[in-house]
Amino acid sequence: MKNRKMVFITSFLVILALAVLPACSTLPLLSSGSLTGTSPSVSSTQEPVPTSSPTQPAIPQSAISTSGQAVLSAYEGVLSEIFNRVNPSVVYIRVVSQVSSSTLPGFPFGSPQDNTPQYQEGVGSGFVWDKEGHIVTNNHVVDGADKIEVTFSDGTIVNATLVGADPDSDLAVLKVDVPADQLQPVQMGDSTQVKVGQLAIAIGNPFGLQNTMTVGIISALGRTLPAGSASASGGTYSIPNIIQTDAPINPGNSGGVLVNDRGEVIGVTSAIESPVRANAGIGFVIPSQVVSKVVPVLIKDGKYEHSWLGISGVSLTPTLAKASNLDENQRGVLIGEVTPGSPAEKAGLKGSDQTVEVDGQQLPKGGDVITAIDGQPVRKIEDLISYLATDTVVGQKVTLTILRDGKEQTLEVVLAARPSQETRQSQSSSQASEAYLGVSVIELDASIARSVGLKSTTRGLLVQRVDPNGPAGEAGILGGSRPALVNGQIILVGGDVLQKMDDVTLNTITDLQNALSQHNPGDEVTITVLRNGKQIELPVTLGSRSQ
């Protein structure tokens, strides 16, 4: 290990990469012994169930048993065939990342005294995309990895490099140097043809157990998942058209495949909804429609540009419609905020200038209501997100039908590229001072607070990651140490909750940005954090972003 005394594998983090198994095609009719029109089997002590005609002879019990066995055998044969065909395309991914010791139990105030490097290991899944050696997985499986290792179903182990990643669709592409004749690409299916109730088969590496197959059905369609990056307004973007499945998915399945009854990939397993970090029957899958659109661009350009309108909004409900002086049956997307400099602002869209309390929650009021885009009805915000993601490209002109002060009108908008995380950070940095803390955080709400064992009324900023060389890392502020899924969003729990900078209360990301804007690099501040249910104060010397 060169001059290092010892390398700690601090934790074996089975990437909580949510795994989901939706299936797109239907279970095929099995001609050998179909039971269409037959009655259920009965006990030998019962009379056979008569048919509708009293003179027609009853179906012999032996015939039912034989037919049932034939169907079962055919079903098992289909599953075995699918596994044998798809499994060679699915890979096991192991990642190693260097982490700040301030995120590790036992080192609450910085690095160990001998400055021994600390590492974190994780595992996930992926699949072969083409004969050129491209491997597709989830972005969150490989995000921040210093080393990526791929194991094929035949035991071949090779190192991989990152070609491109897109946090906003949670997809990433790797490259391995393997002979083309050893690569078996998957066959992509059409997720737009998936129906609820169809067969869903997941293949991946749950809990690191390689070459595992599970079976379920498509449970629901049209879900949304929070994307990996924050919007300019501090909220999150969403991945649309997510498939929900009850196929058993567990940590480690992330990046694996969900296939239909023909063995075609209808999606990439990405997340689970579970209070116990294991399968609870609700999994989420990124649809193949998104995968097929994003992956080729990642291979070509290393990044993907999403169409961007530049608004935040909510679906119009009867209560909110009435409060906005509209017919309570009116549906659409009420614009809450228009991002400065965005296509929406340039087109003249107006955000809300008032709020109204609905069921204890403050919601926007008075903004434009989007009711259609390019003639396609928009009844809820998911409709708008889906259309922008699947039917538009950067630079495209779209026509929005809106209600303004109760009157309908149309506006043309030229879509731009969604600002990258780096661009947003740069803009935030230029608008604020150069004072730097070195943390990534999310706002604590009732659901997140309960998930980390706090009262639902607790507020603050839950620390996700800490720059090990930044002011927060040097001061001993703790980042998250284990992933969890709360309301469909992957978060890291176990870290500190920032509550104050000096006397300034930190309830929102804007609070933190404003507090930092009042300081310069080198200033000393006191950060109040909530750790293990107790408030502690930590002195921090702020740095500069360029350090």
Q: How far apart are the C-alpha atoms of 271 and 224, rounded to whole Å?
A: 11
Residue 180: closest CA among 134, 133, 135: 133
- Burial of residue 79, with CB atoms counted within 10 A of its CB: 0-12 exposed, 13-18 middle, 19 or more buried: middle
- Measured in degrees and rounded to the nearest 5, phi and psi for residue 439 equal -140, 155
User: Would you tell me how many other CB atoms lie within 10 Å of the CB of residue 46?
Assistant: 9
What does the alpha-carbon distance between residue 374 and residue 410 come to, in Å, rounded to a whole number? 10
Q: What is the dihedral of CA 445, 451, 453, 459, to 10 degrees?
A: -10
Q: Which residue has the tokens 């360029």?
A: 546
Could you tell me where the beta strands, DSSP code E, fall in 374-510? Answer: 376-377, 397-404, 407-414, 416-417, 435-436, 439-443, 461-466, 482-486, 489-493, 497-501, 504-505
**Six-digit token pair at 104?**
């590790």
Phi-psi region of 405 (alpha: psi -120 to 50; beta: other; left: phi over 0): left
Phi and psi (nearest 5°) for 359? 55, 40
Q: Which residues pair with 541 in a beta bridge?
A: 524
Instruction: Based on the residue annotation, tell me whether 306 is a catalytic residue of this protein.
Output: no
Burial 139-151 (b: 16+ CB within 10 A, else e): bbbbbebeebbbb
Question: With b meaning 16 or more CB within 10 Å and e meaning fewer, what string describes 416-439?
Answer: bbbbeeeebeeebbeebbbbbbbb
**What is the distance between the alpha carbons of residues 235 and 120, in angstroms, rounded to a whole number?**
29
Catalytic residue (one of 89, 125, 191, 254): 254
Strand 283-287 to 333-338 pairing: unpaired
The one catalytic residue in 140, 288, 312, 467 is 140
As a three-state string, the secondary structure of 357-383 is: EECCEEEEECCCEEEEECCEECCCHHH
Nearest to 351 by CA among 362, 339, 335: 335
* Measured distance CA(333)–CA(383) in Å, rounded: 9
Contacts of 283 (CB under 8 A, 6+ apart): 18, 19, 20, 21, 22, 202, 244, 245, 246, 247, 248, 249, 269, 271, 272, 273
Distance (Å, whole) CA 297 – CA 176: 18
Non-local (6+) Cβ contacts of 466 within 8 A are 100, 102, 103, 438, 439, 472, 473, 477, 478, 479, 495
| Catalytic status, residue 134 | no
The reply to whether 140 belongs to the active site is yes
Catalytic position from the list 143, 168, 170, 246: 170
Residue from 176, 168, 164 nearest 302 by CA = 164
C-alpha distances out from residue 215 to 256, 260, 357, 449, Å: 14, 10, 44, 34
Tell me which residues are annotated as active site.
Answer: 140, 170, 254
